[in-house]
A and B are shown apart, each in its own frame.
Chain A
Amino acid sequence: MNMNEIIKITDLTKSFGNIIACSSITLEVYPGEIVGIVGESGSGKTTLLKCASGLYKPDSGEVFFRSDDNYVQNICNISEPDLRQLMRTDWSFIHQNPRDGLRMNISAGGNIGEKLMAIGNRHYGNIREAAAAWLEKVEIDSSRIDELPSNFSGGMQQRLQIARCLITEPKLIYMDEPTGGLDVSVQAKILDLIKKLVEELNIAAVIVTHDLGVVRLLADRVLVMKDGHIVEQGITDQVLDDPHHAYTQLLVSSIIQV
């Protein structure tokens, strides 16, 4: 199978009991782009990201992922070891709650370094140096490299998780409300970091956020979700400036200004 997209989701549905969290979702993401997903709480954004990244198995539908060598796999029906391998090397998932994405019982440096080790790095000195550099990139003083994450504030834990997820330069980054708990100045820095990484490495990112200001500055395209459906999508300025769906208009008109 030939595809230009890095990920292609077709007709994906996922229910929990009688709640349909995602209903017939179709979505393609191309290398070099950042796709934003917005929508009210409970609209299925997290479920979609988790299905797209192999953390949940959808009830029906396909998720095709293309690796570097143009090898396309349907991650809904590959073996568990193959899926684990892709999760290690090809994409990463930044969770809304940093505790879901960190190992709380190992040091900050260990949290970052173990990701490098998982993709084959063995030189202790290099790994430590890279981990320290990434701490600085997310504005955590590298002198705190040996501290446990539980010593850190929520915002710092989130930045640590971001460093852990980005250090391996994955080809696809899933982010679930990654900047929610960050103060605005740090948030700006993280947005710039993500944008640069996507541009320089020609990778892709999918970001769930309720912050339309973040979407405006970061996302090339946006999807609007409501009740498990994508109700509107387009280039970011199309969706924010000329929304056609009643729900999107409500969303856009409810904020002060973006």
Chain B
Amino acid sequence: MIELKDISKSFRLYTQNSAKITVFKDVNLTVNRGELVAFTGKSGSGKTTLMKMIYGNYLPSKGSILVDKTDITKINLQDLIRIRNHKMGYISQFLRVIPRVSTMNIVSDSLIKLGSEKEDALAQASELLNFLDIPRKLWNLSPLTFSGGEQQRINIARAMICNYPYFLLDEPTASLDNKNIEKVITLIDKLKKNGCAIIGIFHDEMIRNEIADREIDVNSFK
């Protein structure tokens, strides 16, 4: 379970006359295992900010964020890194990888890092890349020259290959065609059936209607 208690967030911009931007005040929110909660609201309303706080990427100005009862805003960095590595998958729109590392290695490394045997990790990576329609001839190439849609699918594969109990999805399907969106939806459904709690940002209302259990307009937190 993920619980946000009295979360506020503002940014102080020292390079711009110390302007203060307040994005949220007193957010309270609970997300349970097995459900998908979609954040909505127009661009700039704070969807990404809220999600990044749950990942421990942005630090809230006030309040607490409990992941399985552990307040991630109060723990040391090592413990937060451990929680991320074992519990939380974060998928953004953008793929960030070391240049020249092959797609296959990028996807399988996620599992190897968690202690899987190399062969097992490669087999699972192949299965997932196949499922996501990444042509086999691309597997040994770096994804940095791939199309936007291919890069997004690599991004999804490298995270979803791990069975995290929590997933945070920030527009992971923005440049996918319908056929691939359906595939991603299939993966998300499977995660939910396994009891995963998911928070997602999807521009496409059709996608939300298909997979979201609840929608939360982040403007209600202002």
A residues whose Cβ falls under 8 Å from a Cβ of B? 30, 33, 184-185, 188-189, 191-192, 195, 199, 216-218, 220-221, 234-235, 237-238, 241-242, 244-246, 249-250, 253
Q: How far is the CA of A144 from the CA of B15 in the complex (A)?
A: 50
| CB closest residue in chain B, given A28 | B78
Chain B residues, Cβ within 8 Å of A217? 96-98
Which chain B residue has the least Cβ–Cβ distance from A242?
B58
Q: Is B100 a contact partner of A220 (Cβ separation < 8 A)?
A: no
| Distance, CA A241 to CA B12, complexed state (A) | 13
- In the bound complex, do residue B80 and residue A192 qualify as a contact, i.e. CB atoms below 8 Å apart? no
Is B59 in contact with A235, judged by CB distance below 8 angstroms? no
- A189-B100, A249-B14 given. 11 additional CB < 8 A pairs? A188-B100, A199-B113, A216-B96, A217-B97, A218-B98, A220-B81, A238-B59, A242-B52, A242-B57, A246-B15, A253-B15
A199 to B98, CA, bound (A): 15
A-B Cβ contacts below 8 A, count? 56
Sampled A-B contacts (17; CB under 8 Å): A184-B99, A185-B100, A188-B101, A189-B100, A192-B98, A192-B101, A199-B109, A199-B112, A217-B96, A218-B98, A220-B81, A221-B77, A221-B81, A242-B58, A244-B59, A249-B15, A253-B15
- Asked if B100 and A242 make an inter-chain contact with CB atoms under 8 angstroms apart, the answer reads no
CA distance A192 to B58 in the complex (A): 27
- For chain B residues 58-83, which have a beta carbon within 8 Å of chain A? 58-59, 77-78, 80-81
Contacts of A218 in B (CB 8 A): 98
Closest-CB distance, B112 to chain A (whole angstroms): 8
Tell whether B56 is near chain A: CB-to-CB under 8 Å: yes
A188 in contact with B99 (CB, 8 Å): yes
| Any A CB within 8 A of the CB of B206 | no
Q: A241 contacts B57, CB within 8 Å?
A: yes
Contacts A216-B96, A217-B97 given: A237-B113 contact, CB under 8 Å?
no
Minimum-distance CB pairs A-B, first 7:
A246-B14, A188-B99, A242-B58, A188-B100, A237-B57, A249-B14, A192-B98
Contacts of A192 in B (CB 8 A): 98, 100-101
Among the listed B11, B14, B81, B109, which residue makes an inter-chain contact with A250, where contact means beta carbons less than 8 Å apart?
B14
A191–B97 Cα distance when bound, in Å, is 11
Query: Within 8 Å CB of B81, what residues of A?
Result: 33, 220-221, 235
B21 at the interface (CB under 8 A from A): no
CA distance A113 to B71 in the complex (A): 50
